[in-house]
Amino acid sequence: MSRRHHHHLHIPLRLLSRNLRAPAPTPLLRRHAFSTSTVGTPEAASPEAEDEAVADATAATPNPPRREEPLHETILYMIRRRPWTTRLENSIRLLSPTLAAPLVHDVVSGAAAAGRADLALQFFRFAYRRAGFSPEPATFALLIPILASRRMLNHARCLLLETMPSFSIAPEEATVAALIAAYGKANIPQESVKLFRLMPELGIARTALSYNAVLKAILCRGRESMARRIYNAMIADGVTPDLSTYNTLIWGFGLCKKMEAALRVFGDMKGHGVTPDVTTYNTLCNAWVRVGDLESARKVFDEMPGAGFAQNSVSYNVMIKGYVEAGKVEEAVGLFSEMGEKGLRLSEKTFAALMPGLCDDKGRVVEARKVMDDMVERRLTPKDKSVFLRLVTTLCRAGDLDGALDVHRKSGQFKHVLVDPRQYGVLMESLCAGGKCDGAVEVLDEILEKGTLLSPKSPVLEGSAYNPMIEYLCSNGNTNKAETFFRQLMKKGVDDKVAFNSLINGHAKEGVPEAAQEILAIMTRRGVRTDPESHAVLVDSFLKKNEPADAKTALDSMMEQGHVPSPALFMSVMVALFNDGRIQTASRVMKSMIEKGVTENMGMAHKILEALFMRGHVEEAIGRVNLMVENGCLPDLDKLLVALCENDKVMEAHKLADFALDRDFDVSFSTYDRVLEALYTEEKTLPAYSMLCKIKNKGGVVDQKGCDALMESLKAGGYSKQADILSRILAENASSTSKRGKRVAMGA
C-alpha cells in the first residue's frame, strides 16, 4: 500500500473525532484553510503537505457537502489576500488540477472588476506556464483590453505581439483597436499609429473600427493633418466611414478649433449617405462653443428638432456651459429652467456648467443656493469642486455670512468632496471681520479635526485669513488652540511675524511666559524679526510671576535682537532683582542700561552701587561708577561715601575715595574728612596716610594737630619714612595752603 493510500485510511477517524468536537466548517472557514500560508521565501509544498491539503479540501466529512462558493471566487479570495508564492500556486492546483478556459476567464474578469489587472495578468501567466492551460482567442480578447484600460500598455503589447504568436493565435481587430485607443488616452498617439500600421503584417483587415480608434487617438493630441491623411487613406482603401467615424472627426476638428474642416465633414456625411444622429449635432454644437461662437452653436441647437432630434441633456449642458463662460448667465438660467420643464435629467455636468455663473454673481446667490439644495437632494456631486469655494466667497462678499456657513456645511454632505482649505480661510476671515468670531472658531475646529492643513496638496492659507483668527483666540484666553493652528501653518512654510507676536502676547497675558519664550526662540531660529513690544510683554509676564531671573533673561534676549528696552522696563527688572536679593544681577542690568544710553533711574542705580559696596563687591561697584562717569551720569559720590562710613564700611569707603581722588572727581573735602576720620578711628594708619597725601597734592588744607597725631601713629607703627615724607609735605605747602583759604581736612 502506498504512503498516500495509507494516509487516506486515517482520514475518516481523524475527521470523525473532529466532527465530535466541533460543527462542520462553513465555506468561509474552508476557504481560509487553503489561503493561510507563511510569508517568506517561495518553496514547494511537500507530498505530505499536499496530501493534507487535499484531505482538508475534499474529505472534511465522509461525504463532503456541496461547495457553496464558486471555485473562481475561492481562487480570487486566495490571490488577493496572499503573496504570490510557489505555495500559493500549489494550493490553486490542489483546488483545480486542470484549469479550464471558463475558470480562467472568470478569475481574470473578477480580478479586473476588483481593480487588480496585475493579478489578472499574473494568474493568466501561471495558468499557461505551470498549470497546463491552453489560451484561446477569447482569452486574449478578454485580457488585453483589461490591461489596456488600466494603462498596463507594455504588458498588453507583449501579449499581442509575442504571446499570441507563440500560441499561433491571430489577434482580433477589436483587441488591437482597444490597445490603439488606450495609447491615445495615454497621450502616446505615435504608438497608436505604429500599431495601426502593423495590423496588415498581423493578418488583420482594417475596418472602420480600427480607423476610428486611431483617428481619435491622434486627434486627442491635435494632429488634424495626420487625421486627414488617415481619413483619405481610409477612403482609398475602400473602407466605408460609419457614423462613429464622422462624429470622431467632427469632435477632433472641433477640439483643434478647425471649424471649416468640421463643417466639411458634416457635409460629407450626407454625401456618403450617413445620417447624423443627436451625438453629431451635440458634437458640432460643442465645437462652436469651444471656439466661442455662441450664435452658431445656438443655431445648431435650434435646428435639432427640425432634423428630427430632440435636444437632450447633453445638448443643454453644452449650451449652458457656453453661455456661462461667455458671461451670459441669464440665457444659461433660461435653458436650465427649460430642462426642468421638459423633464430632462439634470446631471453633475448640468450643475457643473451652471454653478460657476451663479456663484460669481452677487445678484444670483439666492438662485445658486437653491440649485445647490437641488444637488444635495439629488445626491449629485459636481466634478468642479471649486463651485463651493466660489459660492462661499460670493456670499461672504455680499455679507450673507449665515448663508456662507450653510453652503459650507452642505458642501461636506457631497461624496468624495474634500473642502478646499481656501474655503475655510474665506470663512474665517469674513466671520471675524463680521463680528461672528464664534462661528469662525467652529470652522477652525473643523480644520483641526480633519487635519486639512497637514495634507501635502493643501494650499497655504493667506495671512488675512489666519491672522484675525489667531488674534481673536489669543485675546480671549485660547492661545493654545491658536498655537496648534499656527504650528500646522508653519509646517507649510508660514513665518508670519504678526501671528508670532499674537501668540507671544497671548501666552504672556495668560501667565504662561515659558510658552511665549519658546515662540520667540522659534522666531529667532527661523530668522523672523521680532517686535520690541512682544519682548516687553514677555518680560512683564515673568515679573508678574515673580521670576526676576527669567525676566532678566528675556530682557537680554530683547537686546540681543537689537531692541532697546524702555527706561521703565529697565527699572522694573532692576527693582525686581534688587528686592529678590540678586544685587549683582541687578548690577549687570544697570550696566546694560547705561551702555544702551539710558541715563534715567539713577536713584535705583545708586542703591545698587551702595549694595555692591556693602556686600564687598568693591571692584564691580567701582567699575560701575567708572562706566556711569564715562556715559555722563556721575553718581552722588559724597552721599555714597558718607553712607559707607556710617555703615562702618571703612575700607570700601577708602577705596572709593582713593578712586575719586585719582580721577579728580567732584567730591567735597568735608566728605574726604569723614573718610579720614573713619580710617583714623579704625586705626587704618597707612590708608589714612595715603589718602592724606593725595588730598595735599590736590591742594587740600589739613589741620596741623591732626597731622601731628597721624605722624605719631606712623612712627609708633614703625612707619618712620612715611612720617618724614608727611612732615616735609606739610612744611612745603604750609605757606601756600594757608593763603588759599581751603577747607581744613582732618579737623579731628
The arithmetic mean of pLDDT across residues 426-443, rounded, is 91
Q: What is the pLDDT of residue 9?
A: 31
| Nearest-angstrom CA–CA distance, 16 and 61 | 8
Number of Cβ atoms within 10 Å of the Cβ of 546: 11
Taking 60 as the threshold, does the pLDDT of residue 28 lie above it?
Answer: no
DSSP secondary structure letter of residue 483: H
Q: Cβ(176)–Cβ(147) under 8 Å?
A: no
**Cell numbers of 1, please?**
500500500
Q: Where is pLDDT greater, at 9 or 721? A: 721
| Nearest-angstrom CA–CA distance, 240 and 207 | 8
Q: What is the pLDDT of residue 675?
A: 84
pLDDT bracket for residue 5 (50, 70, 90)? very low
- Average pLDDT over the chain reads 82
Taking 80 as the threshold, does the pLDDT of residue 683 lie above it?
Answer: no
**Residue-wise pLDDT tens digits, 557-609:** 999 989 999 999 999 999 999 999 999 999 999 999 999 988 888 889 999 99
Q: What is the pLDDT of residue 377?
A: 80
Taking 50 as the threshold, does the pLDDT of residue 39 lie above it?
Answer: no
The arithmetic mean of pLDDT across residues 550-560, rounded, is 93
Residue appearing with cell numbers 443655431: 299
**Residue-wise pLDDT tens digits, 448-461:** 988 888 888 788 88
Q: What is the pLDDT of residue 432?
A: 92
Of 281-290, 459-468, 668-677, minimum mean pLDDT range: 668-677
Q: What is the pLDDT of residue 7?
A: 36
Q: Where is pLDDT greater, at 526 or 747? A: 526
Closest by CA to 78, choosing from 67, 88, 87, 70, is 88
Q: For residue 744, which phi and psi values (nearest 5 degrees)?
A: -90, 125
Report the sign of the C-alpha dihedral through residues 280, 281, 284, 285, in that order: negative
Q: How far is CA 146 from the centre of its chain?
A: 38
Give CA angle at 40 (36, 42), nearest 5°.
Answer: 90
The arithmetic mean of pLDDT across residues 153-168, rounded, is 91
Q: Where is pLDDT greater, at 480 or 59? A: 480
Q: What share of the chain is helix, strand, coil (3-state, %, to 5)?
A: 70, 0, 30
Q: Show Cβ contacts of residue 73 under 8 Å, excluding neighbours closer than 6 positions.
A: 110
DSSP secondary structure letter of residue 163: I
Taking 70 as the threshold, does the pLDDT of residue 293 lie above it?
Answer: yes
| Residue 587: Cβ-neighbour burial (10 angstroms; 0-12, 13-18, 19+) | buried
Closest by CA to 624, choosing from 574, 581, 671, is 574
Of 235-249, 270-284, 718-732, minimum mean pLDDT range: 718-732
Taking 60 as the threshold, does the pLDDT of residue 46 lie above it?
Answer: no
| Nearest-angstrom CA–CA distance, 35 and 90 | 11
User: Pseudo-torsion of CA 165, 170, 171, 173, nearest 10°?
Assistant: 150
The arithmetic mean of pLDDT across residues 11-40, rounded, is 35
Q: What is the pLDDT of residue 352?
A: 82
Q: String of b and e for 723-744 (b: at least 16 CB within 10 Å)? A: beebeebbeebeeebeeeeeee
Report the sign of the C-alpha dihedral through residues 694, 697, 699, 701, in that order: positive
Taking 90 as the threshold, does the pLDDT of residue 507 lie above it?
Answer: yes
Cα separations (Å) of 115 from 91, 101, 149? Answer: 23, 21, 11
Q: What is the pLDDT of residue 56?
A: 41
Q: What is the pLDDT of residue 399?
A: 85
Taking 60 as the threshold, does the pLDDT of residue 495 lie above it?
Answer: yes
Tell me which range, 54-58, 79-83, 674-678, 694-698, is most confidently predicted by mean pLDDT: 79-83
The arithmetic mean of pLDDT across residues 278-306, rounded, is 93
Question: By percentage, how much of the chain surpasses pLDDT 70?
Answer: 83
Q: What is the pLDDT of residue 467?
A: 93
**Cell numbers of 404, please?**
456662507
Of 204-208, 255-259, 410-414, minimum mean pLDDT range: 410-414
Taking 60 as the threshold, does the pLDDT of residue 534 lie above it?
Answer: yes
pLDDT bracket for residue 215 (50, 70, 90)? very high
Taking 80 as the threshold, does the pLDDT of residue 213 lie above it?
Answer: yes
Q: Show Cβ contacts of residue 319 under 8 Å, excluding neighbours closer than 6 positions.
A: 285, 289, 297, 298, 301, 332, 335
Q: What is the pLDDT of residue 548?
A: 94
Taking 80 as the threshold, does the pLDDT of residue 50 lie above it?
Answer: no
pLDDT bracket for residue 737 (50, 70, 90)? very low
| Nearest-angstrom CA–CA distance, 104 and 135 | 9
Q: What is the DSSP string of 665-687?
A: ----HHHHHHHHHHHHHTT-HHH
Taking 80 as the threshold, does the pLDDT of residue 644 lie above it?
Answer: yes
Q: Cβ(552)–Cβ(542) under 8 Å?
A: no
Q: Where is pLDDT greater, at 746 or 77? A: 77
Of 215-219, 275-279, 294-298, 631-635, minimum mean pLDDT range: 631-635
- 3-class secondary-structure state, position 275: coil
**Cell numbers of 192, please?**
497608436
| Nearest-angstrom CA–CA distance, 3 and 204 | 55
| Nearest-angstrom CA–CA distance, 371 and 358 | 9
Of 130-139, 389-398, 738-747, minimum mean pLDDT range: 738-747
